[in-house]
Structures are given as structure tokens and as C-alpha cells.
């Protein structure tokens, strides 16, 4: 469990470019345990790209040109060392090297909740797989089942949802299911990419409040990507604002 002062992400002066233009430049992000950090900006400013870079996923040519990425709570390693200016091959290496962090140290919930769910697996099975990524996963079928039921209860889903396929869930239930999967591994950081997408205002508020409550209960940091000023002003302790880049690098 993270402490309120734990420094989870330190991203400095990141620049990512294609051969024709700069996509993001001079991006700096800090995320701390027990706090909500919001990342805002107009469409095309690179919010999702920045979130993916924090997870070690960059798929742009030539891609990462400048910047450093550290997870101070883990070590002082600069994960971008040897990747800056290295092109696609170096970025694939970064993806492989950070694989063990995704789903354990940090988790990601995409814009469309359904994208976080495997349509061919029951919610219960998907939660079991997420729970298996914990540093100390429960041992035995009964303990795993109890952990699944606890994960469902945390987000207000009934035990019967264990046997449901994603296609059998409503939009709001899918958002709750995606949140359950994101926090089930007991990560220290949850990255939520515009969880308001496709939801009405009442359901949006419900989902956001639930997300904050669950993350607070687990003591993990929350990096929330959003374009809703009212939501951010209400819930975020820290705000990162990205600007749209020009047409040329």
C-alpha cells in the first residue's frame, strides 16, 4: 500500500515526435501515493500518449527524443536511459523491460471501459487473473474466490456478476468492472483515461467518486486524464496541463 508522501512517477522534459511533427514536448508529471493527479489538455495535446509513455509504451517513429522517467518509490532508475533517440527498437526494449510493472505496480483503465474487458471471459475469471498479479496473491481456490467477491463488493457489483460476460453488463456496470480489475492487483498507481466517456452526468459523478474512494481505500495514487474542468477542480490535488503542439517539429 502506498503512503501519502510516496513519489510514484517522476516524468521530466519528455518530447515525443514523428518525422513530421512534435507530438508532446517539455512534459513534466509527478504523481504521489494517496493523491489525485489530473492531466488535462485539448484533443491532440498528447494526454493518452503521455499516459502510455509512463507505462513504457511508445510506438512512434522516431518517437522518444528527450526526457527521463523514474518511479522513485521503486528505484532511481531512469527508464528512458538508452531509449532517447533510439527509435523503434529501443522503444520495443522499453516495452519489454516495463512489462513486469504493468498490472502490478501500475494499472491502466482505458477510455471505453469495454476495452479493458475481454469479451470472451467472465468477469470472475478476469478478476482472478488481475488478482494473480499481486505481490502476494491469495493461495487456494477458496481464498481466490473470496478476493474476487471482495473486489466486486468494493465497486458495488453483485456476486452474480462473477459469471457474467462483459456484453451482459450495462455501461455503468462495465465502468465498475473495469475499476475492479484495475485495483484488484493492489497497484500503487491507477491511470484512468477519461472514465467519463459515454456516461451521463449523474453516472459520471458516481463513477468518479467511486474511483476516488476505492483508490483511497487502497492507498494508491490516481492519475486521471480528463477534459472536465468541474470534475478536476472538485477532486484533484495536482493538475498537469498539456498544450497542443504546432504542426512542425
pTM: 0.89
Task: Give me the phi and psi of 183, to 5 degrees please.
Answer: -95, -15
pLDDT of 247 above 50: no
Sequence-distant (6+) residues with CB within 8 A of 222 are 35, 36, 37, 189, 190, 192, 211, 212, 215
Strand order in the sheet with 7-18: 22-32, 7-18, 62-70
Dihedral angle computed from the Cα positions of residues 105, 193, 94 and 18, in that order, rounded to the nearest 10 degrees:
-170
Q: Kindly report the CA angle at 208 between 195 and 245, in degrees rounded to 5?
A: 45
Alpha helix segments (H runs only) across 74-195: 87-97, 123-131, 141-154, 171-183
Spatial distance between the Cα atoms of 46 and 95, rounded to a whole number of angstroms: 19
Q: Report pLDDT digits (tens) over 78-115.
A: 999 999 999 999 999 999 999 999 999 999 988 777 77
Q: What is the number of H-type helices and E-type strands within the chain? A: 7, 8
Structural domains of the chain, ranges and CATH numbers in brackets: 7-241 (3.40.50.300)
| 117-142 per-position pLDDT tens digit | 999 999 999 999 999 999 888 989 99
pLDDT tens sequence across 149-165: 999 999 999 999 999 99
237 neighbors 37 (Cβ within 8 angstroms): yes
* pLDDT at residue 12, rounded to an integer: 98
Amino acid at each position: 500500500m502506498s503512503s501519502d508522501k510516496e513519489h510514484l512517477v517522476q516524468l521530466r522534459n519528455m518530447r515525443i515526435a514523428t518525422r513530421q511533427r512534435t507530438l508532446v514536448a517539455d512534459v513534466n508529471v509527478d504523481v504521489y501515493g494517496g493523491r489525485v493527479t489530473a492531466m488535462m489538455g485539448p484533443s491532440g495535446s498528447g494526454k493518452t500518449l503521455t499516459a502510455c509513455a509512463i507505462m513504457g509504451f511508445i510506438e512512434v517513429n522516431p518517437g522518444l527524443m528527450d526526457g527521463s522517467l523514474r518511479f522513485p518509490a521503486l528505484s532511481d532508475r531512469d527508464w528512458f536511459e538508452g531509449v532517447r533517440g533510439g527509435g523503434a527498437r529501443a522503444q520495443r526494449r522499453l516495452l519489454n523491460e516495463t512489462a513486469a510493472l504493468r498490472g502490478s505496480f501500475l494499472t491502466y483503465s482505458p477510455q471505453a471501459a469495454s476495452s479493458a474487458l475481454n469479451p470472451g471471459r467472465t468477469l470472475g475469471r478476469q478478476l482472478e487473473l488481475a488478482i494473480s498479479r499481486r505481490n502476494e496473491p491469495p493461495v487456494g481456490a477458496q481464498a481466490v474466490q473470496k478476493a474476487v467477491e471482495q473486489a466486486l463488493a468494493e465497486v458495488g457489483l453483485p456476486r452474480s456478476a462473477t459469471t457474467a460476460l462483459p456484453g451482459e453488463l450495462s455501461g455503468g456496470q462495465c465502468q465498475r468492472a473495469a475499476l475492479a480489475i484495475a485495483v484488484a492487483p493492489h497497484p500503487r498507481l491507477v491511470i484512468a483515461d477519461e472514465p467519463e466517456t459515454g456516461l451521463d452526468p449523474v453516472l459520471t459523478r458516481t463513477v468518479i467518486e467511486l474511483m476516488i474512494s476505492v483508490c483511497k481505500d487502497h492507498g494508491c495514487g490516481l492519475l486521471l486524464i480528463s477534459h472536465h474542468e468541474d470534475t478536476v477542480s472538485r477532486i484533484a490535488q495536482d493538475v498537469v496541463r498539456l498544450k497542443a503542439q504546432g504542426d512542425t517539429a
